[in-house]
Amino acid sequence: MKIVQHSFKFLVLAVLMFLPSSISAFNAGGDGGQVSGKQQVEEYIVHHLKDSHDFNLFSYTDDSGERKHFGVALPVILWSSEGLVTFMSSEFHHDDNGQVIVEKDGLKFTKIHSKIYELEKGATAVSFDADHHATNGTKVLDFSITKSVVGILLIGLLMLFWFSRLAKQYKKKQIPTGFGRILEPLVLYVRDEIARPNIGEKHYRRFTGYLLTVFFFIWILNMAGLTPLGFNVTGQLAVTACLAIFTLIIYTISGNKDYWMHILWMPGVPIFVKPILAVIELVGAFIIKPFSLLVRLFANISAGHIVLMSLIAIMFTLKESLGVVGATSLSFVLSFFLLLIELLVAFLQAYIFTMLSALFIGMAVAEHDHEHDHDHEISSDVEDVRGDFI
């Protein structure tokens, strides 16, 4: 009965192309890892939002009550107190709560909430304080090929495959055929609607490659996050931070004299205001701009995943009050519509990230021919656009 129930749930998820690596794959519960209560649903969602060290597709409990996991173990690469340590994630046996301790090269490692800790010498088990923080272990630098890294690699290879094929098509014919016919207008869209108007006719060519990569990377990964594979790459702070810092580096390096002039010694204002403005502009350029990029993407995608998973969880949480059929259909309908919205959000966030990157780069390379009228125009445009998005 349980199998039937669980495979039914999985089927529903798979058919819907929905998120999670499988609702029943949750291991933190310890006994069987099934999700039924509100508490477990919450824990499961929190767990999903984090990166995972193995690529779990689904799990189920067989007749003998044993938990079976279906998925791929990924390599764990750690920089510990004594150098590089590698082993497969399967050695944790799907434990995420500090129960299993892996010994490698005389060092003991355990995984708590997707973070790997190195235990102190001599410790045999993890001891927790009141807030469930490990007291006798330290976090290690974790360069593992996690699920997010696998996602980045897969999508990267896919992009390379698609677009290099499109590039090859142009050698033989003027107009691409097949899938290239879908990709070409997207490339043109990014070039003509994002890069060209925001950066300007003179400089846009230099940055189009970066903007195109970022746009397709974010968009495809956002959409991959909506499939049952359960990627949450663009919901990882580390990834969005990395993207935002790239944009920061690009517009800082390519900023021209005017740009730095306007940051450090704003022309056209009284002299005693200049240092104050310089501080504000510096904070704006180096903290606010990248943060607005990284937090917006991270928060939108995380929020989408949380809401979508919560709606799927209606299946379990309202099972008693609505019955199996009622709860499942309610969950189906609600999450279906949310999925449609999330598809839009996936595109929108990729667009906004690329658009704002282009805008910031455009501000850095803009040439002020007419000194101040022009400058005002640009900054008011920027304010308009930012007002629209924030």
Partner 1 sequence: METLLNDFSPGLFVVSTILLLALIALMVKFAWKPILTSLHEREEGIQSALDAAEKAKREMANLQADNQRLLQEARLERESMLKEARELKSKMIADAEAEAKTQANKMIAQAQEAITSEKKAAMAELKSHVAGLSIEIAEKVVRNELSNKDKQLELVESMLAEATLN
Pick 13 or 190: Cβ nearer partner 1: 190
Q: Which residue lies nearer to partner 1 by CB, 12 or 159? A: 159
The CB-of-238 to partner 1 minimum distance in angstroms stands at 4
Report d(CA 104, CA 63) in Å as an integer.
Answer: 34
Closer to partner 1 by Cβ: residue 283 or 341: 283
Residues in the site for partner 1, rule: CB under 8 A?
Answer: 49-51, 79, 115, 141-146, 148-149, 152-153, 156, 159-160, 163-164, 166-168, 170-171, 174, 184, 187-188, 191, 205, 208-210, 212-213, 217, 236-239, 241-243, 245-246
| Min separation Cβ 194 and partner 1, Å | 14
Q: How far is the CB of 279 from partner 1 (least distance, A)?
A: 23
Taking the least distance from each CB to partner 1, the nearer of 8 and 79 is 79
Q: Which is nearer to partner 1, 331 or 357 (CB)?
A: 357
Q: Which two tokens stand for residue 259?
A: 């740009």
Nearer to partner 1, 13 or 211 (CB): 211
Given the complex with partner 1, which of 143 and 347 has the nearer CB atom? Answer: 143
Cβ-based neighbours of 67, under 8 Å, separated by 6 or more: 27, 32, 33, 59, 60, 61, 94
Please report how close the Cβ of residue 296 comes to partner 1 at its closest, in angstroms.
14
- DSSP labels, 76-109: EEEEETTEEEEEEGGGGTT--BS---EEETTEEE
Q: Shortest Cβ distance from residue 11 to partner 1 (Å)?
A: 32
Which residue number, 135 or 380, has a Cβ lying nearer to partner 1? 135
Q: Are strands 67-73 and 75-80 parallel, antiparallel or unpaired?
A: unpaired
- What span, in angstroms and rounded, lies between the C-alpha atoms of 318 and 41? 12
Distant-in-sequence contacts of 116-122, Cβ < 8 A, 24+ apart: 116/53, 116/76, 116/78, 116/140, 116/142, 116/144, 118/78, 118/80, 118/81
Alpha-carbon gap, residue 127 to 59, rounded angstroms: 28
Please, are residues 150 and 51 in contact by the beta-carbon 8 Å criterion? no
CA 149/CA 77 separation, integer angstroms? 12
Output 208 or 354, the one with its CB closest to partner 1.
208
In angstroms, the CA 28 to CA 321 distance is 26
What minimum distance in Å lies between the beta carbon of 93 and partner 1?
Answer: 22
Sheet order of strands, 102-104 included: 102-104, 107-112, 115-119, 137-139
- 137-139/115-119 β-pairing: antiparallel
Neighbours of 115 (CB within 10 A): 16
- Work out how close the CB of 90 gets to partner 1 at its nearest, in angstroms, rounded to a whole number: 19
Residue 69 beta carbon to partner 1: minimum distance, rounded to whole angstroms: 22
Question: How wide is the angle at C-alpha 385 spanned by C-alphas 384 and 388, nearest 5°?
Answer: 90
Least Å distance, CB 164 to partner 1, is: 4
